[in-house]
Amino acid sequence: MTDGWVMVIGLEVHCELKTTTKLFCGCPNMFGNEPNTNVCPVCLGLPGSLPVLNQKAVELAMAIGTALNCDIRPSTFHRKNYFYPDQAKDYQISQYDEPINVDGWLELPDGFRVGIERAHMEEDTGKTTHVGATGRIHGADYSLVDYNRSGVPLVEIVSDPDLRTSAQARAYVTELRSVLVATGASDGKMEEGSMRVDANVSVRRSADDPFGTRCEIKNLNSVRSVGRAIDYEAGRQIALIESGDRVMQQTRHWDEDAGRTVTLRSKEDAYDYRYFLEPDLVPLVPDADWKAAVADALGMMPAQRRARLADLLSDAGSVTDARTEQVATVVDLGLDDLVVEAIAGGIPTALALARTANEAATDPEAARQLDTGSYVALLSMEAAGTLSATQAKTVLAELLAAGGGDPSAIAREKGFEAMSDNSLSATVAQAIEGNPDEWARYCAGEDKLAQVFIGQVMKSTRGQANGKAVVTELQRLRG
């Protein structure tokens, strides 16, 4: 579809900050409460009310700027004027020509650096629900507005137009999400609207041509929609140009169900926001000490954490694509510390990574709370063959549920006594007896038939046996 064409993509990501209270008042910043319960004169825009800037929100914005390698600068707030029912004051307080963070970059896992033009602070709007057949404003019987979200702090992160494929755009959103979670600024829940993406897309015939006319796509609420919408939109623009038409600068809405973008408004209809300096607020000038304190409090970013695990894998000489994928998973879920500590505790790198990326990752919340001592003790038992993989996984589930514990005690309760060599030999002998043909072929060198015997032994021991020990016994008998 895009043969012979180059896309140019820039993304604007709105991130709700995970503060206790809203940006300009003391109302709770909470998702999912009864409509219009987290409201006060300020976030309802009642006459006479005035905004007071939330210091914690500023600190999170500075943390985002630091993580995105931005300059953190003295900044001001402006009013962006437009009428909309969910906009309580009919203007939005937003940073305009003097944003707090400018000129940064984000490095993607493949090493590609995406420029960050700015990451500025602003307040969120309320939420309008149009009640009627269409669910859209046109044709609605009536509309309901919930102001619980009104005044929730946002940081809008604007990338440079550096992205060239939808896959790159998806990688950018995924990485940015991890960074935002790592800073503590966001919970990264795109499905709850904690992160919302707008994409600016244009196409050109070659990378040497000037940028084409762009369209802005709104309403991208998942990494998947970002990719689909960009591909659709680029295709639409290419088809227009190839049919001799031209692309009009527009704002377009992504219709997830229909899988296409539709016109919201054209450039001629663009609002005149009449930005001017917000007279109810004073300039924000973070001093060097404050900036340093925010930077010091910032943990490692995902890129550094992936590098740390990649180094450990390469030290162990066990780099594979699957393991690199596991590294990305554990870093994304914030479980990489668990892996690092397990390796430091003597657990083989591949085992530490696999158990964390596959099993611990099924309940990341619990895994992040897990007592690392218990985890290391469990993996030691598995590494030593005291527990089979199946048994280890069962014990891990117990540890996750309880937040920790003594894995050997749990193993005893479960009756996971390691099988003695004698009883294992007897069980293996039984399996050989029941499968004489397979045994003959195994003896002739078909190693993969070991699986048949392992399967039999596991079946008769209800998974209690250690697979490795079975193989050792088979090899011993084969001589």
Distance of CA 275 to the CA centre of its chain: 33
Dist. CA 60–CA 409, nearest whole Å: 43
Give whichever of 138 and 462 is closer to another protein, judged by the CB atom.
Answer: 138
Q: Which of 11, 13, 61, 88 binds another protein (CB under 8 A)?
A: 88
Ramachandran region of residue 405, left (φ > 0), alpha (ψ -120 to 50) or beta? Answer: left
**Longest distance between any two alpha carbons in the chain, whole Å:** 91
In sign, the C-alpha dihedral spanning 310, 311, 313, 319 is positive
**Hey, what are 445's tokens?**
């060198």
Options 82-90, 350-358, 368-376, 461-469: segment touching another protein (CB under 8 A): 82-90
Is 280 a binding residue for another protein by CB under 8 A? The answer is: yes
328 contacts 313 by C-beta, under 8 angstroms: no
Nearest to 75 by CA among 176, 155, 17: 155
Using CB under 8 A as the binding rule, the residues of this chain from 2 to 61 that contact another protein are 41, 44-53
Round to whole Å and give the CA distance between 186 and 19: 9
Q: Between residues 41 and 74, which has the closer beta carbon with respect to another protein? A: 41
How many amino acids of this chain bind another protein (CB under 8 A)? 29
Residue selected from 192, 209, 276, 371 as contacting another protein according to rule CB under 8 A: 276
Binding mask 119-138 for another protein (x = CB under 8 A): ------------------x-
Cα(123)–Cα(17) distance, integer angstroms: 10
Count CA atoms within 13 Å of residue 112 on its CB side. Answer: 12
Contact window for another protein (CB under 8 A) among 81-89, 258-266, 305-313, 337-345: 81-89
Distance CA 310, CA 298 (A): 22
Alpha-carbon distance of 29 to 357, in angstroms, equals: 32
Kindly state the tokens that stand for 226: 């970002």
Would you say 90 or 315 has its CB closer to another protein?
Answer: 90
The nearer residue to another protein, 130 or 189, going by C-beta atoms, is 130
Shortest Cβ distance from residue 29 to another protein (Å)?
A: 19
Helix axes 166-183, 302-315, angle to 10 degrees: 100
Q: Measured between alpha carbons, how far is 88 from 14 in angstroms, rounded to an integer?
A: 19
From 84-92, 288-296, 297-305, 423-431, give the range in contact with another protein by CB under 8 A: 84-92
Provide the residue count of the chain: 479
Contact 87, 125 (CB under 8 A): yes
**Cβ 279 to another protein shortest distance, Å:** 4
Tell me how far, at minimum, the Cβ of 40 lies from another protein, in Å: 8
Give min distance, CB of 127 to another protein, in A.
14
**Nearest distance, CB of residue 48 and another protein, angstroms:** 4
Q: Kindly state whether residue 144 participates in binding another protein, applying the rule CB under 8 A.
A: no
- CB 200 to another protein: min, Å: 21
Contact by Cβ (8 Å): 7, 201 = yes
79 vs 196 by CB, closer to another protein = 79
Extract the runs of DSSP E, i.e. beta strands, from 160-312.
Answer: 195-204, 215-220, 250-255, 260-266, 276-277
323 lies in the binding site for another protein (CB under 8 A): no
- Shortest distance in whole angstroms from residue 50 CB to another protein: 5
**CB-wise, 211 or 276, nearer to another protein?**
276
Distance CA 68, CA 307 (A): 17
Q: Among residues 6 and 145, whose Cβ is nearest to another protein?
A: 145
Q: What does the alpha-carbon distance between residue 90 and residue 364 come to, in Å, rounded to a whole number?
A: 41
Handedness of CA 305, 310, 316, 322 (dihedral sign): positive
Give the nearest distance from C-beta 66 to another protein in angstroms: 25
> Is residue 266 a contact partner of residue 248, using CB atoms and an 8 Å limit?
yes
Question: Is residue 89 close enough to count as binding another protein by CB under 8 A?
Answer: yes
Is residue 272 a contact point for another protein (CB under 8 A)? yes
Quick check: 264 binds another protein (CB under 8 A)?
no
Q: Which of 83, 258, 288, 479 binds another protein (CB under 8 A)?
A: 83
Stretch that binds another protein, among 277-285, 294-302, 310-318, 407-415 (CB under 8 A): 277-285
Task: Out of 58, 59, 61, 79, name the contact with another protein by CB under 8 A.
Answer: 79
Q: Which is nearer to another protein, 81 or 213 (CB)?
A: 81
> Site for another protein (CB under 8 A): which residue of 2, 69, 76, 81?
81
Which spans of this chain sit near another protein (rule: CB under 8 A)? 41, 44-53, 79, 81, 83, 85, 88-91, 137, 143, 145, 272, 274, 276, 279-282
